Amino acid sequence: MGNLTGKTALVTGSSRGIGRAIAERLGREGALVAVHYSTGADAAEQVVESIEKEGGRAFAVKAELGVPGDADTLFGGLEPRLKDRTGTTDLNILVNNAGVMAMGAPEEVTPDMFDRMIAVNAKAPFFIVQRALRLIPDGGRIINISSGLTRVASPDQVAYGMAKGALEQIALHFSRHLGKRRITVNSVAPGSTDNGSALFQISEVRETLSQLSTFGEVAEPAAVADVVAFLASEDARWITGAFIDASGGTLLG
């Protein structure tokens, strides 16, 4: 029995990277996990299989985020599957992890690029939270995956940093809104985390990113997933409205 047995969780963007590690960790703790994806159907199925292989329960749900009607598409897929598996549409844990990142000189950011950053990284999570509130019972958990780049200057990622800054506001304002229901709302900020992309295989890049952390390494996704699992647990019931630095000491200055 894990400490999330009997709970349900939705992890957006859990077909790969940090989201995958979060889904697998919550699955190991006993939660029934909705593995959300957009384009990676096979990858999402593999995550479901890996959770089931460990004795957990999971299913995949598809929705492109950052487009009109995204939250409705997501919950339109989620609710019947929850009902089918549990008899209710209760959602105990929502992890807004899906995100897009882009790099480029601030002078080169176009209105379309900027709009997409905001649409996927800030607007979609807001409306997912708004929509999820119908399903989240008292004592639920909302965890938003931000970035250390809301605290460390990186001019080539200004639009991304702005979008993540907006995302973090959800924890501040919704934690006050939902306190009476004992629903906690927090932000987790990873630093450089090996999400399996080719970037992390380039040794010079990896070395540079490693040196940003006081531990001299880039994170494995599991290091971030463990922090999320703690926030999802009963032990974290008194933490809300918080910004949790999970950057391996990148933000020490």
Q: Which residues of 8-43 are buried (b: 16+ CB within 10 A; e: fewer)?
A: bbbbbbbbbbbbbbbbbbbbbbbbbbbbbbbebeeb
Tell me: does residue 231 bind ligand NAP (CB under 6 A): no
Task: Choose one: 53-61, 75-83, 190-198, 226-234; the region binding ligand NAP (CB under 6 A).
Answer: 190-198
Distance CA 91, CA 124 (A): 18
Alpha helices by DSSP H, listed for 54-109, are: 70-86
Shortest distance in whole angstroms from residue 251 CB to ligand NAP:
11
Residue (99 or 140) nearer to ligand NAP, CB: 99
Tell me: does residue 100 bind ligand NAP (CB under 6 A): yes
Distance CA 221, CA 200 (A): 12
| Catalytic status, residue 160 | yes
Exposed (0-12), middle (13-18) or buried (19+): which is 156, by Cβ within 10 Å? middle
Shortest distance in whole angstroms from residue 90 CB to ligand NAP:
23
Residue type, 142: I
Residue (175 or 193) nearer to ligand NAP, CB: 193
Site size with ligand NAP, rule: CB under 6 A: 25
Residues that bind ligand NAP (CB under 6 A): 13, 15-19, 37-40, 64-66, 97-101, 120, 145, 147, 190, 192-193, 195
